[in-house]
Structure 1
Amino acid sequence: MELVELTSLREALVGLPGVNGLSIEQRKRMTIAVELVANPSIIFMDEPTSGLDARAAAIVMRTVRNTVDTGRTVLFLLKRGGQEIYVGPVGRHAYHLIRYFEEIEGVPRIKDGYNPATWMLEVSTAAQEAALGVNFTDIYKNSELYRL
């Protein structure tokens, strides 16, 4: 429980997904803990961060790091393939990143106080591309930023 940072929840009920009990991120860490009980020398993980926001993904990845620090080998698939949709300065308070994406027609503006990394991941999904009728990779490759 300590290794996966769930000590504070040792008395909690797992519950039903989306109804009560542990959050998705806590469930993923609990799944890792259950696998660790068998004390395997190697652990395979398929997209342990899928479905998580940036904060929850960071917690799960810290759990993976804690596991590696015990001498175990961890192999995981995060995503296959991938395309660049933004490579450039982030800026103070992610100013440049936000400005770049908000200039793309149809991309919703970031709400005050919202995490810029999470916002960027949400507005640039394949579903958003389809809904907006855009291709973020093509937009980036045709941008002034790409030519720099």
Structure 2
Amino acid sequence: MNVNAHVPQAWWERLRWTRHGFFAGVILGVVMGWLFHGVISFVFRFGLILLLLLPLLVIGWLWLRSSRGGQLGDPAGNQRQVVTWSSHRVTPPERFEPAGPIVDVPVAPVRRSEPREAPMREDFGSRTSARDSIPTDVERELQELKRQQERGR
């Protein structure tokens, strides 16, 4: 079978340098592969051994961890001690408890329903709604704190 009969002559000339480049690349690849076959085989062997030994290492680690479960110094042991926050609370010497009573502000009542739309009013030359003048829960608490602070003076 003649290969040249199926390929037009113009293509042989057009692909001439492509064929030379392909064969030069094949020859260069064979030479470089032969020079570095030791490094490539080392990486391949190391990766294959690591891939095969990794499940065994994980199984061994889990078995070792589960077999030492109750020994001292092992945080994964089954012996657990309940510790409360007050048993570990240590007040540093520079921070003492307050001498006076702690004043607590009562919580503002929670609104159970959504308020109706407030009527519009005109003050100070601009249109604002009456809702803008209603203090929020935070503002009420702030005002209550200010009143208590003034009473204490």
Higher percent of residues as helix = 2
Q: TM-score, normalising length from structure 1?
A: 0.17
Name the larger-Rg structure: 2
